[in-house]
């Protein structure tokens, strides 16, 4: 089917199978491999992207659901070739170990801060509850999110 | 694969009439897409109605609320009327899966999936929901108690969409508690939807629906009858918990975590009663 949607601020018109997952559209068709597949079941959050301002699992979104919607991926967060504040804080707080959960964590953070620029720790934990990290124990990640929210 | 994706209400009926018995409706897809991707589901065509505004609206009329089948869990959780008048629906919608799943999963999908653990289903029983189904020839109204045939199957025809869900404004306080194997992002192992109205200090009317322990939510009649005319104290609430434990012991096969649920259900009952008083939280 022909799909018209907005991707990282730009209008895109593409031809794709309606039952293709957004995750596969991004990684295979559009060669945007920043978004990762961890489980394919909506359990880990590694594939998180933002659609119409809300965090969703791209492994649980199909092409036929995207008509007219606005999608933001990790690739869309850079600011003039530089990392955005969230990305910088993740680096500074060593909130990245193997890196596999990082994209999803950052996208969930971005979605949270779009709604709520000054979240409490509990609100941060609730917003990231759908993102699993197997390496870190989450402490650095929560710190990075807190710092992303300060003076942002 | 064929896909029918109408962009306006006027295009919907035409899409419905193109569907065949191996066509499938797609809600948010947070359950269905897993089966689709793994090959367990092999539909001939998909029909997605989420681009049609009429299917997403949450509106009220003089008698109650009308929720579009494609309203998401997040939209329902944050809706003012639902928060004030149908708080058990807010309770249930706010705990479905993860935030990412709640942003995408729909009430229509939860119903159409007809899982025994479906989070919204006991709450829709509590509020006497009526499902307005839309087919190629028109609409029909199906009371929630008649919707689910068996796990995974509703009485809807292959070309009948869940258009809207109607619920009258309740005349009782309500709450919903879900218990799973972990705190968040968990499938319901047992849940309870409670509706209660008091006269002075005694229970005037009560509704208790227990979900995830059977194919359809169980109306705990014995507990309801016990509570009428009684005060809501700890003794009486624990009696309700006992009735539920006994029910589970008698009716749940041992291999469906019967012994866990017999004990866990007591906490669920206490929590559901405690949750009724929203100001205390």
Residue ranges of domains in chain B: 2-168, 183-280
Q: Are residues A30 and A51 in the same domain?
A: yes
Q: Which of A75, A97, A113 is the last residue of a domain?
A: A75
pLDDT at B132: 98
Q: What is the per-residue pLDDT for B281?
A: 53
Asked if pLDDT for residue B274 goes beyond 60, the answer is yes
Contacts of A108 in chain B (CB under 8 A): 99-100
How do residues B195-238 score in pLDDT, each as one tens digit?
999 999 999 999 999 999 888 999 999 999 999 999 999 999 99
Q: Which of residues 92-111 of B touch A (CB under 8 A)?
A: 97-101, 103-104
Q: CA of A89, closest CA in chain B: separation in Å?
A: 23
Residue whose structure tokens are 């197997």: A134
Tell me what the mean pLDDT of segment B161-177 comes to.
98
Q: Do A41 and B34 touch (CB under 8 A)?
A: yes
Measured CA to CA, the distance from residue B183 to residue B177 in angstroms comes to 12
| Side-chain half-sphere exposure of A44, counting CA atoms within 13 A | 16
Is the distance from CB of B25 to CB of B49 less than 8 angstroms? yes
Residue A93 pLDDT greater than 80, yes or no: yes
pLDDT digits (tens, 9 = 90+) for B35-91: 999 999 999 999 999 999 999 999 999 999 999 999 999 999 999 999 999 999 999
A86: left (phi over 0), alpha (psi -120 to 50) or beta: alpha
> What pLDDT was estimated at residue A58?
98
CA angle B104, B256, B179 (to 5 degrees): 45
- Kind and range of the H or E element at B196? strand B190-199
B183 — pLDDT class (breaks 50, 70, 90): confident
Contact residues, chain A, for B23 at CB < 8 Å: none
A47 and A68 fall within a common domain: yes
**What's the predicted TM-score (pTM) here?**
0.96
Instruction: Tell me the two tokens of residue A62.
Output: 């199909």
Of the candidates A47, A28, A19, the residue with the CA atom closest to the CA atom of residue B32: A19
Residue A113, domain extent: 85-150
Give chain B positions within 8 Å (CB) of A57: 30, 98, 100-101, 104
Q: How confident is the model at residue B253 (pLDDT cuts 50, 70, 90)?
A: confident
Which chain A residue shows the shortest CA-CA distance from B7? Answer: A67
Alpha-carbon distance of B76 to B86, in angstroms, equals 10
Q: What is the mean pLDDT of chain A?
A: 96
pLDDT value, residue B267: 95
**Is residue B141 within 8 angstroms of chain A, CB to CB?**
no
Radius of gyration of chain A (CA): 15
How far is the C-alpha of A5 from the C-alpha of A2, rounded, in Å? 10
Say which of A51, A60, A130 has its CB closest to residue B185.
A130
Nearest to A54 among B30, B74, B97 (CB): B74
What residues contact residue B48 under an 8 Å CB cut-off, 6+ apart? A62, A64, A65, B3, B4, B5, B25, B26
- The predicted pLDDT at position B280 comes to 60
Q: What is the mean pLDDT of residues B168-196?
A: 95
Domain membership flag for residue A8: yes
- Kindly list the residues from chain A whose CB atom is less than 8 angstroms away from the CB atom of residue B184: 126, 129-130
ipTM associated with this complex? 0.96
Q: CA of A145, closest CA in chain B: separation in Å?
A: 17
* Domain annotation covers residue A41: yes
| pLDDT in the model for residue A151 | 65
Mind telling me how many Å the CA of A98 is from chain B's nearest CA? Answer: 23
Instruction: Indicate whether A152 pLDDT > 60.
Output: no
Structural domains counted in chain A: 2
The total of other beta-carbon atoms located within 10 Å of residue B61's CB is 10
Could you tell me the pLDDT band of residue B254, with boundaries at 50, 70 and 90? confident
Position A80 in a domain:
no
Q: Which fold has domain B183-280?
A: Enolase-like; domain 1 (3.30.390)
Nearest CA among B176, B185, B173 for reference residue B268: B176
HEC-encoded secondary structure of chain A: CEEEEEECCEEEEEECCCCCEHHHHHHHHCCCCCCCCCCCCCCCCCCEEEECCEEEEHHHCEHHHCCCCEEECHHHCCECCECCHHHHHHHHCCCCCCCCCHHHHHHHHHHHHHHCCCCCHHHHHHHCCCCCCCCCCCHHHHHHHHHHHCCC
In a shared domain, residues A43 and A11? yes
Looking at the complex, report in whole angstroms how far the Cα of residue B95 sits from the nearest Cα belonging to chain A: 11
Q: Which of A40, A42, A67 sits opposite B5 (nearest CB)?
A: A67
CATH 3.30.465.10 applies to domain B2-168: yes
Distance CA B220, CA B243 (A): 8
How confident is the model at residue B279, as a pLDDT?
73
Please list every residue in chain B whose beta carbon sits closer than 8 Å to the beta carbon of residue A45.
98, 100
Q: Please report which helix (H) or strand (E) contains residue B142, including its range.
A: strand B138-143
- What value does the mean pLDDT take over residues A81-103? 97
Q: Are residues A97 and A60 in the same domain?
A: no
């Amino acid at each position: 089917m022909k799909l018209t949607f907005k991707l990282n601020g730009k209008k895109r018109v593409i031809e794709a199978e309606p039952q293709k997952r957004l995750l596969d559209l991004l990684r295979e068709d559009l060669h945007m491999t920043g978004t990762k597949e961890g489980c394919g079941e909506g359990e880990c959050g590694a594939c998180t992207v933002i659609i119409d301002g809300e965090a969703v699992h791209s492994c649980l979104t199909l092409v036929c659901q995207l008509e007219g919607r606005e999608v933001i991926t990790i690739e869309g967060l850079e600011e003039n070739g530089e990392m955005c504040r969230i990305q910088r804080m993740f680096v500074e707080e060593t909130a990245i170990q193997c890196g596999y959960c990082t994209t999803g964590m950052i996208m969930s953070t971005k979605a949270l801060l779009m709604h709520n620029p000054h979240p409490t720790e509990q609100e941060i934990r609730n917003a990231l509850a759908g993102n699993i990290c197997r390496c870190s124990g989450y402490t650095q990640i929560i710190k990075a999110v807190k710092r992303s929210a300060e003076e942002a | 694969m064929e896909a029918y994706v109408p962009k306006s209400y006027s295009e919907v009926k035409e899409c419905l009439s193109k569907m065949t018995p191996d066509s499938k409706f797609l809600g948010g897809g947070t359950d269905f897409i897993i089966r689709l991707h793994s090959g367990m589901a092999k539909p001939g065509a998909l029909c997605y109605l989420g681009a049609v505004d009429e299917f997403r609206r949450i509106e009220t009329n003089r008698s109650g609320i009308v929720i579009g089948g494609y309203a998401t869990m997040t939209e329902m959780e944050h809706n003012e009327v639902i928060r004030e008048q149908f708080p058990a629906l807010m309770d249930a919608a706010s705990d479905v899966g993860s935030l990412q799943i709640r942003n995408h999963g729909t009430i229509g999908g939860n119903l159409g999936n007809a899982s025994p653990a479906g989070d919204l289903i006991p709450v829709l029983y509590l509020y006497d929901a009526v499902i307005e189904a839309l087919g190629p020839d028109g609409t029909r109204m199906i009371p929630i108690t008649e919707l689910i045939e068996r796990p995974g199957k509703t009485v809807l025809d292959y070309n009948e969409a869940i258009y809207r869900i109607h619920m009258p404004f309740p005349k009782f306080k309500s709450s919903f508690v879900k218990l799973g194997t972990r705190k968040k992002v968990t499938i319901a192992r047992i849940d309870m939807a409670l509706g209660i109205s008091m006269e002075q200090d005694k229970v005037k009317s009560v509704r208790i629906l227990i979900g995830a322990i059977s194919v359809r939510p169980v109306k705990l009649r014995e507990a309801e009858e016990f509570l009428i005319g009684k005060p809501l104290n700890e003794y009486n609430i624990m009696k309700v918990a006992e009735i539920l434990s006994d029910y589970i012991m008698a009716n749940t096969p041992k291999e469906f975590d019967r012994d866990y649920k017999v004990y866990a259900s007591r906490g669920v009952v206490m929590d559901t009663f405690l949750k009724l008083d929203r100001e205390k939280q």
